[in-house]
A and B are shown apart, each in its own frame.
Chain A
Amino acid sequence: GAGVSQSPSNKVTEKGKDVELRCDPISGHTALYWYRQSLGQGLEFLIYFQGNSAPDKSGLPSDRFSAERTGGSVSTLTIQRTQQEDSAVYLCASSLSAVSNNSPLHFGNGTRLTVT
């Protein structure tokens, strides 16, 4: 079946502009996660959703970052007034449930964001 889909796959934006990154989870998965990976760095947790609510937003690096999820499906990560340090690959994952640690996350291939 279809995996996690992210769009766009690549995004180049100018410093100061806003960007929206989209994630379509696997059908039936109630939990959705956002991570980012900077060049040569490990994966950094940003936020996760169970349904439409976000129990843990602790990884969002600043108030320029926000995310929402509607209808328990698609999620959008928005970065306002982008800075060069926001350049990274933004990865989305989904799992059947986030109320158990026995439910694997399945990742998309990410959106590569470059801020010039």
Chain B
Amino acid sequence: DAKTTQPPSMDCAEGRAANLPCNHSTISGNEYVYWYRQIHSQGPQYIIHGLKNNETNEMASLIITEDRKSSTLILPHATLRDTAVYYCIVRAGGTSYGKLTFGQGTILTVHP
């Protein structure tokens, strides 16, 4: 799987947008970008994924650069409950699609 690089931690004020960056400069053409988050004592929660187009769902937006070497997860109005570890993952195709490789992620702290 392509390696991803994320900042170890970020802060955000409640009610403001949280923009979490991810670099994946070695991504291949058929690899998807996935975002998950994990709140203490819970399993990872799926947020969003995309291939090359920007995506939006009820939780977040995913902006992927045209060259696909980086992406940004946007939480439009962060709440205290969004405090979690956020993982950016590049998911391979072929025979490795069953194996997601989780890195260290970004610890997002939303404060009042």
Report B-chain residues with C-beta under 8 Å of the C-beta of A110.
Answer: 43
Q: From known contacts A108-B43, A109-B42, A109-B43, infer whether A45 and B101 are also in contact, taking CB-CB under 8 Å.
A: yes
- Chain A residues within 8 Å of B, Cβ to Cβ: 4, 31, 33, 42-43, 45, 48, 50, 55-56, 58-59, 91, 93, 98-102, 104-110
Known: A101-B30, A108-B43, A109-B43. A56 touches B49 (CB 8 A): no
Residues A101 and B91 in contact in the complex (CB < 8 Å), given A31-B98, A45-B101, A50-B98: yes
A107 to B34, CA, bound (A): 14
Q: List 13 A-B contacts (CB under 8 A).
A: A31-B98, A33-B98, A42-B103, A45-B100, A48-B99, A56-B95, A58-B99, A91-B43, A91-B44, A93-B44, A98-B97, A102-B32, A104-B46
Main secondary structure of the interface of B (DSSP, over half): loop
Instruction: Give B residues with C-beta under 8 Å from A.
Output: 30-32, 34, 41-46, 49, 51, 91-93, 95-105
Q: Using a Cβ cutoff of 8 Å, how many contacts connect chains A and B?
A: 57
Give bound CA distance, A58 to B91, whole Å: 17
Q: List 10 tightest A-B contacts by C-beta distance, closest first.
A: A107-B43, A48-B98, A43-B102, A101-B97, A101-B91, A104-B46, A45-B99, A42-B102, A98-B98, A109-B43
Q: Are A99 and B97 in contact (CB under 8 A)?
A: yes
Cα distance, A110 to B38, chains bound together (Å):
12
Given contacts A45-B101, A102-B32, A106-B46, 18 further A-B contacts (CB under 8 A): A31-B98, A33-B98, A42-B102, A42-B103, A42-B104, A43-B44, A43-B100, A50-B98, A55-B95, A55-B98, A59-B99, A98-B97, A101-B93, A101-B97, A105-B100, A107-B45, A109-B41, A109-B42
Are B92 and A101 interface neighbours, CB within 8 A? yes
